[in-house]
Amino acid sequence: MAVALASVAATTRSILLRDTDQRINGLLAQEAGEFANFEEQGFDPETGRPFTDPGRLLRVFLERQYADLDEELIGLVGEAGSRPTQIIQQREIPVGRPLHQDADARRRIYASPHSTGTLDRPEGEIRWAKVTVARYGGEPAAAFVVAFHPGREQARADEVFRVLLAISGVALLMTTGIAWVVAGRILKPVRLVRTTAAQLTEQDLTRRIPVHGHDDVAALAETFNAMLDRLERAFATQRRFVDDAGHELRTPITIVRGHLELMGDDPAEREETVRLVTDELDRMSRIVEDLLLLAKSERPDFVTPEPVQLAELTADVYVNARTLGDREWVLAEVADREARLDPQRITQAMVQLAQNAVQHTTTGQTIRMGSRSDGARIELYVADSGPGVQARDAEVIFERFRRGTARRGVRGSGAGLGLSIVRAIAEGHGGRAELRTTEGGGATFVLTLD
Ligand SMILES: Nc1ncnc2c1ncn2[C@@H]1O[C@H](COP(=O)(O)OP(=O)(O)OP(=O)(O)O)[C@@H](O)[C@H]1O
Ligand SMILES: [Mg+2]
């Protein structure tokens, strides 16, 4: 704003100065023209004949003229460069020193070979025009000079410039004050957001920013509060996860310690204890492996996709799954196309699903597997003919350490990490894992990758 105001003032000043300049040029040209005319066509009023003496010509002309403000009309007679005879007409010239009192300036103008010019004197600038009278030949020579003192007009332009600058300064101060107050008001809620954010800690995420009105700042506060809600939920989930993991790992430790403390000397009993302890340790190491896998799933390199023939992958998974249990395994269909996915991770997920299917079926029951594609979308599924998943469990079984209510608490069942791994792998591929009900009972788990 300061730059804009200063340039407005400077532009105004230069426009005023240019106007003055043009007016002075016009004035000088007009006066010089009038004299040239008179010199050409004028008659001596006493004789009624053309002039013969340059001094008389100048005197008669100047007697009839009235000089404008800041203007001097002077006739100079005499040898060029010498002190000329002078006839003067002028009005008050308040700025600087008038030309009729400045012999040196007069001599310089009189001697100049040009017909117009600007004379820079310490006492003030003079703009002048000159018409030399040469028609009478020989001596004495003469000249008509019109001189203008632009000082007053220039001073007026400077005055306007200074007034504009002063007004700009006041305007700048006022707007600065107003902007300060307005900016303070606008930033107040932002400051509140900042202080609230600074007060938040991992332990206390309960603080929220009060929301007033419907403006952008209110929207910011709402967004911030929503982010805090998500953070709070995420921290809660994290805490529960750590609690659950601790609990899941402590149980086998307690069991192992109990077995070892109670172990007697009977070889058969010892053998039984070793078997039970090994079982528990296997279970523990499975949980630890699953937890490590889930931790890894948060990393960007969890899934490394490559072009894979779906038919081949489905067949491989099917062959792997068959070894999991004595069931009626059916390869229902295969999608015959290429897809970009991570074959190891997809196999891992499908094996988890097949394991679950085996756990929820008995010998001889059917488990169907397959893959199909629909446009860009690929589906890989495992469908069993077991009891299926209860409606109220459908949402939670994909969460970590969550098992279905039907079998909760039964030792020997899994830790509840399998489906979380399946979901992490699906999401790593930009897809999702879903539960669908199979006609005729049973559960169908589908990996959908777009
Ligand atoms: N095919 C299925 N039929 C019926 N219920 C199932 C099936 N698959 C999973 N579930 C239910 O979902 C729950 C969670 O499964 P998930 O694979 O995550 O854990 P898990 O099998 O209990 O343990 P883990 O896989 O870690 O050994 C299971 O406890 C079970 O209640
Ligand atoms: Mg499982």
Give Cα separations from 373 to 32, 341, 347, 368, 449 (angstroms): 100, 14, 17, 17, 9
Contact residues for 97 (Cβ-Cβ < 8 A; gap 6+): 121, 123, 124
Residue 370 is which amino acid? G
Res 92: pLDDT: 60
Res 233: pLDDT: 87
Contact 432, 386 (CB under 8 A): no
> H helices within 83-144, ranges in order?
103-111
What is the CA angle 229-230-234, rounded to 5? 120
Chain-centroid distance of CA 173 in Å reads 29
Q: What is the DSSP letter of 446?
A: E
What is the CA angle 17-22-24, rounded to 5? 95
Res 135: pLDDT: 65
Q: Model pTM?
A: 0.58
Phi, psi of 79 (to 5 degrees): -60, 140
Q: Which atom of ligand 1 is nearest to the CA of 290?
A: 26
Res 167: pLDDT: 94
Residues of the chain with pLDDT under 70: 79-95, 135-140, 202-203, 406-413
Cα-atom radius of gyration of the chain, to the nearest Å?
A: 53
Phi, psi of 170 (to 5 degrees): -65, -45
The CA 360 to ligand 2 mean position distance, Å, reads: 10
Between CA 29 and CA 387 the distance in angstroms is: 114
Res 95: pLDDT: 61
Res 93: pLDDT: 63
User: Which ligand minimizes its atom distance to the CA of 416?
Assistant: 1
Between CA 125 and CA 30 the distance in angstroms is: 20
- What residue ranges line ligand 1, CB within 6 angstroms? 356-357, 360, 384, 386, 388-389, 397, 403-404, 407, 413-419, 443
